[in-house]
Structure 1
Amino acid sequence: MAAINDMTVGSPTRGILRFALPLILGYILQQMYLIIDAAIVGRWIGVGALAAVGASSSIMFLIMGFCNGSCAGFAIPVAQAFGAKDFPKMRSYVANALRIGVVFAVVITIVSCMLCDRVLVLVNTPADIYRDAYTFLFMQFLAIPFTIGYNLLAGFLRALGDSKHPFFFLIFSSVVNIVLDVLLILVCGLGVFGAGLATLLSQLFSCILCGWYIVGRVKILIPKGSERTFDNKRISILLNNGVPMGLQFSITGIGIIMLQSANNALGTTCVAAFTASMRIKYLFTCVFENIGLAMATYCGQNIGARDTARVRRGIFAAMRIMLVYFVLTVALIYPFADEMMELFVDSGEQEVITNAAMFMRITNYFYPALGLLTILRYGIQGLGYSNLSMLSGVMEMVARIGVSLWLVPALGFLGVCYGDPVAWVAADVFLVPAMFFLYRHLKRKIEAARA
């Protein structure tokens, strides 16, 4: 039986940390793989290959963000049913979410592979890295079914408060990825194709492991009898939670595509600097993302238990955790940003290093805005209002488009550095009052139902 974490009881801070820490460790490990992958590509193949791997990162954020966001949204009704202790309903949601996941995997993979060439043109991919960029992106698209499979199954486990086992599977996946990188790139000399193939195979292994564990150890999630029946109402609820959550990432991704397109137009050096800095940025910001994921499950379980006071305590507990972590990031990024960038390129590539380090320091100053964004956005999603949280993605998109159209042409790479901070602040301007009014609405609604 899985290590279920009932977040409707006990200390909110301990519950959130207990859930978030395995997620954070897992994603740090995953980002460490991406850093090692980029370091191998950048140092052993070249700056051009590093740029090719990163040239399509915004496209991957758009598509994989939709897939991962949708899977996280599908887990919210499962978490709410678990919080209400309605296990047959929970298993019915699992069965119908699997149906949706299969359809999504087939359709998104086919469409993405067909449009691979066009999207690289869309983001102004430099001609000298186009071929490698196409190869890497196509391999990433082929891995979409396995990515959806893992995120959907891991989402079910996290809905029960079990974030440890998805973490273990990520460890295995990341180790496999690193080993395959060394074998396929350095030993077999497959270059960028080897990097893409390594990612695909590691995603396949993590999906298989997650499914094997649920079938063998988490019987409470296995639908049986009438719970397996197609349920149009449950499908509708799952889509109402998952699709807006996925679209939120995709809408945000449109802004990122615009920003990367503007950056790509600045040349291969800026593309390489953007790629290197984004690898390190994701290593640090994944902590905020996973505190947010913890809040989605926390709020989902507690609104299922109809405890709004506990939801409020959890939000403030998450904010305190976020601020402590922010102080740690400043102590690491500000003095050592240049040295971090030398992981990816030779010290002689001074322009790449300088630009990438500047990007890291500027975005670091705005991490509290990102932390607030993830806590409130995922909290709202956990409460069952994914459509509302999606609007924050619209705010991010508009802000990034504005930066791409005006700041980047005026300031060059310095304008690119302000793309994320401006977007985070814009989203917070919407999310803070949205959470305030939503909390008051739910509190009155639950109090009226009890009266």
Structure 2
Amino acid sequence: MQKVKDNNTKNMTTGNSMSQIVLFFLPLLWGNLFQQVYSLVDSIIVGKGISDKALAAVGASGTLNFLILGFVVGMTRGFGILFSQSFGKEDYGLLRAYIRGAKRLCITISLILTVVCIISLKKIFVFMQTPSDIIKDAYIYFVIILAGIVITVMNNLTITILQSLGDSKTPLSAMIISSLANIAMDIFFVMGLKIGVAGAAIATVLAQVFSFIYCFYKIRKLDIFNKKDRHDLGDYTDANIGLDLVKIGIPVAFMNSITAAGGLILQYFVNLMGSGYVAAYSACMKFASLFEQFGMSVGLSMMTFVGQNMGAGKFDRIRRGVRQGLLLSTIINIPLALLQILFPEQLARIFLSDPVIISYCKEFLPVLGISIFALGWLFVYRYSVQGLGNTFVPMLSGALEVIMRLSVCFIIGRYSFRGIALSEVSAWIGAFVMLMITYYVVIGIKARSSQEKNYN
């Protein structure tokens, strides 16, 4: 059987599982944190280089951006499950067939999304009651982002391919390159050429091109994609490959979009409380988004680890790896929990200056801090279940999160800001319990099925 010769790709089906998980996790974490820092710098450039209204226009498309791009990013991540499973069982013909099928699906779905979204974009902004003084800039910005969806999706696909093969270092390098390029082009287009929000959007799309080219180059250098073997897809038909990809990728895509919709519910209730609470909520969720990157990075590591070992049929190794993932998640969340519980005022002052608004954050952040462990465990179980090949239940867990947020908001969330926080963490806890039970059921079924197959 042909082997992969590359220093960054890793077969995670042998060796010390904890060290493999940690070494895969660290580049993922640094990449995600770097992206958060870039996002902050990008906002500063738009706000200072153009105007506060320009920043509001870019922000007005944020939720819509999350809904649409979250869908396509989730789709490519779902495809990665099949990549890692075929890599784990060393069936490189199947791996190449899945990648070719994924490329075709990504291009097709991206083009359809681009056309549909551009046609309906103005109506969507009106429906979302986007203020009239920023709707023009919001439309210009997002039309350009939509025009680059194909590039964004293909970039995420190449990143997913590399991560599925155990390489988290190359995507980190690509993310650093694209982020630095994005900042440089932001400065050039926005502050140099002064072409407004269009410049920020162009910079974002072009930065994706840099990342895609770098990752694509690295993939082409792998032995399993050399000229001799590139068109050897084994005995796999395009129809079966396409069906496999759709069955596992689309539920992950919908899960991301459903989760994004859940955030809209809380935002709606916060908006009813007034601008002071909106400012406090925005600050608190910036920290929530930053701190969740740690647990999410552990979860993404587990998806690759579980996927490869699922392909190799090593269920005892999967169980051991998941326990180690839970331990790692717990350890890294301890300081993050203490920060939110003990120093909420100091954290809030990073973004806010009004003592009254800061006091709102003191109600909110400790609730998130206490519950951050459940969020970390949720990521471990969600991505482990996906690595086992089950993406339907994780999609349902996204729907459960929406239901929990809506229910708790109606009961207590609309009466207090702390109630909003409890609505958020109730979604974490509900999904965590659901996915924990699912993981133990699914791995038990998969292990028994594998044993029976081997016995027969």
AA aligned opposite 1:88: G
Give 1:370's aligned residue.
Answer: 375
Give 2:307's aligned residue.
Answer: 300
Give 2:184's aligned residue.
Answer: 179
Identify if the C-alpha distance between structure 1 residues 361 and 184 changes in structure 2 by more than 3 Å, giving closer, same or farther.
Answer: farther
Give 1:329's aligned residue.
Answer: 336
C-alpha contact 2:388 2:443 (8 A) present in aligned 1: no
AA aligned opposite 1:93: Y
Q: 1:13 aligns with which of 15, 18, 30?
A: 18
TM-score with structure 2 setting the length: 0.89
Ranked by relative contact order (alpha carbons within 8 Å, sequence separation 6 or more), the top structure is: 1
AA aligned opposite 2:329: M
Alignment map for 1:157-172 (pairs within 5 Å): 157-172=162-177
Give 1:384's aligned residue.
Answer: 389
AA aligned opposite 1:374: F
Identify if the C-alpha distance between structure 1 residues 37 and 276 changes in structure 2 by more than 3 Å, giving closer, same or farther.
Answer: farther
Give 1:25's aligned residue.
Answer: 30
Deviations 1:108-154 (A, max 9, x none): 12222223233334444455544444444334333322221111111
Deviations 1:310-330 (A, max 9, x none): 111011100111111111213
* Number of positions where the alignment pairs a residue of Structure 1 with one of Structure 2: 447
- SS of equivalent to 2:415: helix
Identify if the C-alpha distance between structure 1 residues 199 and 262 changes in structure 2 by more than 3 Å, giving closer, same or farther.
Answer: farther
C-alpha contact 1:277 1:357 (8 A) present in aligned 2: no
Give 2:424's aligned residue.
Answer: 420
* Unaligned segments of structure 1, at least 5 residues: none
Deviation at 1:6, TM superposition (A): 1.0
- SS of equivalent to 1:115: helix
Question: Is 1:450 aligned to 2:454, yes or no?
Answer: yes
Identify if the C-alpha distance between structure 1 residues 284 and 136 changes in structure 2 by more than 3 Å, giving closer, same or farther.
Answer: farther
Alignment map for 1:7-406 (pairs within 5 Å): 7-42=12-47, 48-127=53-132, 129-215=134-220, 217-221=221-225, 224-227=230-233, 231-266=238-273, 270-334=277-341, 337-338=344-345, 340=347, 344=351, 347=353, 355=360, 359-403=364-408, 405=410
Give 2:437's aligned residue.
Answer: 433
Deviation at 1:79, TM superposition (A): 0.9
AA aligned opposite 1:330: A
The CA distance in 2 between the partners of 1:148 and 1:65, in whole Å, is 10
Identify if the C-alpha distance between structure 1 residues 360 and 107 changes in structure 2 by more than 3 Å, giving closer, same or farther.
Answer: farther
Deviations 1:249-290 (A, max 9, x none): 112222222333443455555555444443332222112112
Identify if the C-alpha distance between structure 1 residues 124 and 26 changes in structure 2 by more than 3 Å, giving closer, same or farther.
Answer: same
AA aligned opposite 2:231: G
Identify if the C-alpha distance between structure 1 residues 195 and 225 changes in structure 2 by more than 3 Å, giving closer, same or farther.
Answer: closer
The CA distance in 1 between the partners of 2:306 and 2:245, in whole Å, is 17
Q: In percent, how many aligned pairs have the same letter?
A: 33
Deviations 1:90-122 (A, max 9, x none): 111111111111112111122222232333344
Deviation at 1:382, TM superposition (A): 0.6
The CA distance in 2 between the partners of 1:252 and 1:391, in whole Å, is 10
Identify if the C-alpha distance between structure 1 residues 365 and 164 changes in structure 2 by more than 3 Å, giving closer, same or farther.
Answer: same
Deviation at 1:41, TM superposition (A): 4.2
Identify if the C-alpha distance between structure 1 residues 49 and 354 changes in structure 2 by more than 3 Å, giving closer, same or farther.
Answer: farther
The CA distance in 1 between the partners of 2:408 and 2:380, in whole Å, is 25
AA aligned opposite 1:61: F
The CA distance in 1 between the partners of 2:150 and 2:206, in whole Å, is 12
Deviation at 1:49, TM superposition (A): 4.7
Deviation at 1:421, TM superposition (A): 1.1
C-alpha contact 1:306 1:446 (8 A) present in aligned 2: yes
The CA distance in 2 between the partners of 1:320 and 1:162, in whole Å, is 22
AA aligned opposite 1:425: I
- SS of equivalent to 2:10: coil
C-alpha contact 1:54 1:275 (8 A) present in aligned 2: no
The CA distance in 2 between the partners of 1:71 and 1:381, in whole Å, is 13
Q: CA RMSD in A?
A: 2.7
Deviations 1:371-413 (A, max 9, x none): 11111111011101111221111111212233455544333x5
Deviation at 1:172, TM superposition (A): 0.5
Identify if the C-alpha distance between structure 1 residues 137 and 415 changes in structure 2 by more than 3 Å, giving closer, same or farther.
Answer: farther
* Unaligned segments of structure 2, at least 5 residues: none
- SS of equivalent to 1:418: helix
The CA distance in 2 between the partners of 1:212 and 1:360, in whole Å, is 43
AA aligned opposite 1:308: F
The CA distance in 2 between the partners of 1:359 and 1:140, in whole Å, is 33
The CA distance in 1 between the partners of 2:444 and 2:361, in whole Å, is 43
TM-score with structure 1 setting the length: 0.90
